[in-house]
Amino acid sequence: MEPNAPKDPLDPPPSPPPTSSDIPPAPLAPSEPFVPPPPPVVDPAPPTGGFVPSSYDLPPGAPPVPPVSSSVGSDAPLQGSGLGGADLPSITPAVPSTKEERLWATLIHLSGIVGASLAAFFIPGNILLPLVLWLIKREGNSFVNDQGKEALNFQITITIASIVSALLVFLCIGVPMLIVVGVISLVLSIIAAIKANEGVAYRYPFTLRLIS
């Protein structure tokens, strides 16, 4: 068709030029699924009380956590249970002592049992034998000196209890009391000898501490 030729009224009108809204959008690239970030790692705090279990890992170079001392420590000695005191034996922690000191302290405690056999002759051997051993070895031996005085105080208390029990024989309660006193003296003297051999300063219960 020539450019200047007249238009046929039956020809369709020319289409308008395409606009940006008629252009289809470009396909989007596939996106990865959303993954939330991991929670922050926080080091667990060490448990209270000074005890750190083996599973707890301390940071490199960190000093160990010191134990927290309680009001009643495991090394705290039990107080002596004399008149008005507790009714349980009292044991203080082991004190520095030599093998010879432990041997003499053990013999002093056991000598009260051996000397008790002289009671039939009205001789207080349970006091005399520990007294002699104590006087021989107390100088320069603090552990022997301590245990010697403790053994003497106990044997003096046992002697007083035996005299009172003997006076009550006529009331039918003296004989049972004598038996109980004898058993207590035997058992506690053996316990004291064992503890002294271990280097432990033993404290007898029910004891009048007249020698200090």
Q: Is residue 184 part of a domain?
A: yes
Residue 84: per-residue pLDDT: 41
Q: Residue 111's pLDDT band (boundaries 50, 70, 90)?
A: very high
Task: Mark 122-160 as b/e (b = at least 16 C-beta within 10 Å).
Answer: eebbbbebbbebbeebbeebebbbbbbbbbbbbbbbbbe
Q: Span 51-79, mean pLDDT?
A: 48
In a domain, 8, yes or no: no
For residues 129-140, give the mean pLDDT: 93
For the chain, what is the domain count?
1
Domain boundaries, position 148: 90-199
**Between 128 and 97, where is the model more confident?**
128
Tell me whether residue 117 is in a domain.
yes
Tell me, yes or no, whether 212 lies in a domain.
no
pLDDT value for 121? 81
On whether residue 23 sits in a domain, the answer given is: no
Q: How confident is the model at residue 151 (pLDDT cuts 50, 70, 90)?
A: very high
Could you tell me the pTM of the whole model?
0.56
